[in-house]
Structure 1
Amino acid sequence: GGTLSKLLRSGIGVHHAGMLPRYRRLVERLAQAGLLKVVAGTDTLGVGINVPIRTVLFAGLTKYDGQRTRRLRAREFHQIAGRAGRAGYDTVGYVVAQAPDHDVENARLLTKAGDDPKKLKKLVRRKPPEGFVSWGEQTFTTLIDAPDEEMRSHFRMTTAMLMEVLERPGDCFAALRHLLEENHEPRTRQLRHIKHTIALYRDLCETGIVTRLDSPAPDGKHVELSVDLPENFALTNPLSAFAVAAFELLDKESETYVLDVVSIVESILEDPRQVLFAQRRAARDEAVAEMKADGIEYEERMERLEEISWPQPLAEEIGFAYETYRRGHPWLAGSTPSPKSVLRHMRERSMTFAELISQFGLARSEGVVLRYLTDCYRALSNGLPMTAVTDEIEDLTDELGDLIRGVDSSLLDEWAELTGAQS
């Protein structure tokens, strides 16, 4: 926040997904008002945000998509480049792409050598870094002229979507049939979606979350949710039903019951990679210091480090429970729990948001941490059956909600507004 304040007062904006939402919105508002001379951002700035920009400068024509570094697709390039030229202000917009650093350095060396054959002969060209995905002027011109990639449907039936349809008045099965067959998916994929939906429905029935009525209710409903579920109960993750079953394995009288519930919830949430990598780095640094003190040789230290990861409480128990659960639910083979300890780490140490950010050096990923904690809050608020809820868990949920609101309430406010509109 302090760094961003200094930059903004100098007319420089920063915009990327790792920032807190309130910081991103501030940069967007200032840019829209024409108060920023430069905005350094990722491609998130080019999607869904009306920010007037005269010139777009690509620092590179590649991006890391979460799995690998690849060249920009034509649609991504055009989306970002299309920001150039402010409507009502500019008649022309400019799009510039920087050459790779090693190409720039080689051009400087060539310029310095001039036409001297001896200097040109001795010239040692800079090589690209290992694993570098190259681009050049030809890449730039190709992207300019390339047509956008054909859009593909990404329809996917989720447990949350299925439950929302099942809760509607009327014939939910007719509504599901319409949803699964009247879409833009090819017939082969429609059939796969239908089989997957049937599997999800059976899963909900077997876990007691959904009950089939002997005869339709007055409002036409054919099913009902369990009476032991809280209001606005939601399963927002493919493994949510597994978590509901796993809660039953915990001992409510145990001193660690609340933390164990948190661990099961965290195991089904998407990994906040930046946080986990930082935790792993901290654990390895600590292990290296201990091994050096014990006089362990370098090669052995490196071997041992490979075995050190981020904290994974209840990993063995959750893994065993999942394998047992999966035998009766084979459609879950593509989704596996991922034990981790972010909220649990904070809870065990009574840490604040700022303390967590400081401990692991996550200043550039505050938004990622906040989104993850918000997912934890939603799961604890609306993803636990009443049989798993205790006073301590309700207190933890309230405290987590207060913590999130104290950092940036926008995510919770938007969620509350959305759920209120749906209800």
Structure 2
Amino acid sequence: MVLSVVARGGDAFADVRSLVYDNHEPRSRQLAMARRALVIARTLINARVIEKVDGAYRLTVDIAPNFALNQPLSPFALAAFELLDPSSPTYALDMVSVVEATLDDPRAILSQQQFKERGEAVARMKQEGIEYEERMELLEEVTWPKPLDELLTAAYEAYAAEQPWVLDFQLSPKAVVRDMYERAMTFGDFVRFYQLTRSEGLVLRYLSDAYRTMRQTIAEEQRTQELDDLIEWLGEVVRQTDSSLVDEWEALLNGDVLLASEEHEEIAPPQPARLTGNPRAFRVLVRNALFQRVLLAAADDIDGLGELDATAGFDRSAWDTVLEEYYEEHDSIGTDADARSMQYLVLDESGATASPRVWKARQIFSDPEGDKDFGFSATIDLDASDEVGEAVVRVTEIGRVDGWAEVDVD
């Protein structure tokens, strides 16, 4: 409310005062709203979102038309954004982590993440020969991923010292959107990986809340191209996943919905927008699908790679041969933010208007020596992607860059 009043100009103080007191709320409620409005105003001033000039309040930044502080801790998020370095390779994901820390906890998701983390921790500790009793003690410290935990906790405590009201709301660092993005997963991949089939609705609601909050809380000048791409990707994931309701519509139409008359218009499920109609979001989906193979190669998961690409002619054995050659020359495959960058990816979108509509891609592995001598090529079928609601990638070449194993893609 405060932000909207300041944005429209005029005497913001008088306008807010009128909104707070010129109503039929009980006096106690009016006083509570007045205190809340003052706290929000001070927060926005401290965050340098608004300023007082010649007795009048005005915005200091250009905000999007849909800009809003729609979470109780959104004012804290505004202040926390200032702690991040836009030049950092993890800036976009760190911005996501700040927003996620202000959202309500999706307990079912976090429990499964913790279960997965503890399972992996047990496996590591067994390999290291740690005794059972010590393992159990160490497991108590293993929880779900909490990016920026120390930074955000310290910032929250400092913020609360000046804004005590924030203590009414619990900061909760977590990584659902970030985890999904870093693992290059689709919605379905994420649900299967964490065994959340019975909680798909919860996952979708959380992703939707995260998308809306990022769209409405992060100001234009705080955004980078990578962050914009990530937000667009998340929005498209939500939109395409929501189209799965078509199945529910069909079930209703097959007997659960009785039309009062055959003269009524046929009820039809809403059709999802074409996936490729949002090139920016689709581009991120493609990059994630390609990078998923990089992650599998980095883990030497030839079974996973074979499962993805066997139908394209690159089964478990084919990937095993290539990775064996790679690891004879290099110790590892990078999976950090740098490895995700466009310096390791060539994406040719010139075929988007051809028939059939096809993009071509070449993904290079990030090796420690910087040789960039191994990777794979692929085609992306745009029409098929629209049909299934996710990027349809077909690997066409794998191996050493100067000696690809060709596969006919016709």
TM-score, L = length of structure 2: 0.54
Cα deviation 1:94-130 (Å, max 9, x = unaligned)? xxxxxxxxxxxxxxxxxxxxxxxxxxxxxxxxxxxxx
Task: Kindly state the Cα deviation for residue 363 of structure 1 after the two structures are TM-superposed.
Answer: 1.0
Q: Is 1:231–2:61 an aligned residue pair?
A: no
Aligned residue number for residue 34 of structure 2: 194
Q: Give 1:229 deviation, angstroms.
A: 2.6
CA distance in 1, matches of 2:66, 2:28: 34
Counterpart among 346, 352, 357 of residue 186 in structure 2:
352
1:248 aligns with 2:82: yes
- The CA deviation at 1:179 is 4.0
Q: 1:364 to 1:295 in 2, by over 3 A?
A: same
137, 146, 152: which is aligned to 1:303?
Answer: 137
Counterpart among 150, 164, 171 of residue 330 in structure 1? 164
Spell out, residue by residue over 1:295-345, the C-alpha distance to the aligned partner (whole angstroms, 9 max, x if none): 544443332222111000110111122222333223222224211111111
Paired residue type of 1:403? V
Q: 1:4-43 counterparts in 2 under 5 A?
A: none
The one of 148, 151, 161 equivalent to 1:317 is 151
AA in 2 matched with 1:345: D
Q: Quick check: 1:405 aligned with 2:239?
A: yes
1:302 alignment partner, SS class: helix
What is the aligned length? Answer: 246
Whether 2:225 is the aligned partner of 1:391: answer yes
1:208 and 2:42 aligned: no
Alignment check: 8 A CA contact 2:11 2:57 kept: no
SS for the counterpart of 1:341 is coil
Q: Render the CA deviation track for 1:223-274: whole Å, top value 9, x for unaligned.
A: 4333333332111122222222222222222211111111111111111111
CA distance in structure 1 between the partners assigned to 2:29 and 2:172 by the alignment: 28
SS in 2 for 1:176: helix
> What residue identity is the alignment partner of 1:370?
L
Secondary structure of the structure 2 residue equivalent to 1:163: helix
Consecutive unaligned residues of structure 1, counting only runs of 5 or more, are 1-160, 216-221, 414-423
Change beyond 3 A, Cα 1:249–1:170: closer
The structure with more radius of gyration = 1
Structure 1: distance between partners of 2:146 and 2:24: 41
> 1:104 corresponds to which residue?
none
Q: Give the Cα–Cα distance (whole angstroms) in 2 for the partners of residues 182 and 243 of structure 1.
A: 31
AA partner of residue 98 (structure 2)? I
| 8 Å Cα contact 2:69-2:217 kept in structure 1 | yes
Q: CA deviation at 1:184?
A: 6.5
Amino acid at match of 1:340: K
Q: Give 1:172 shift.
A: 4.4
Q: Is the 8 A contact 2:98 2:173 kept in 1?
A: yes
Measure the CA separation in 2 of the matches of 1:238 and 1:295. Answer: 46
* Stretch moving more, 307-316 or 368-377: 368-377
Q: Distance in 2 between matches of 1:182 and 1:313?
A: 44
Are residues 332 and 408 of structure 1, via their aligned partners in 2, closer, same or farther at CA, if it must alter by over 3 Å?
same
Distance 1:410 1:241 in 2: 35
In the alignment, which residue of structure 1 is the partner of 2:4? Answer: 164
Q: Distance in 2 between matches of 1:232 and 1:373?
A: 18
How far apart in 2 are the matches of 1:312 and 1:230? 29
Identity of aligned residues (%): 48
Tell me, which stretches of 5 or more residues in structure 2 are unaligned?
A: 246-269, 271-410
How far apart in 1 are the matches of 2:244 and 2:197?
Answer: 19
Partner of 2:88, secondary structure, is: coil
Take 2:190 and 2:154, find their aligned partners in 1: how far apart are those partners?
A: 30
Cα–Cα, structure 1 residues 209 and 291, in superposed 2: closer, same or farther, change >3 Å? same
Structure 1 position 364 matched with structure 2 position 204: no
**Shift of residue 287 of structure 1?**
2.2
Is the contact between residue 93 and residue 227 of structure 2 (CA under 8 Å) also seen in structure 1?
no
RMSD across aligned positions (CA): 2.7
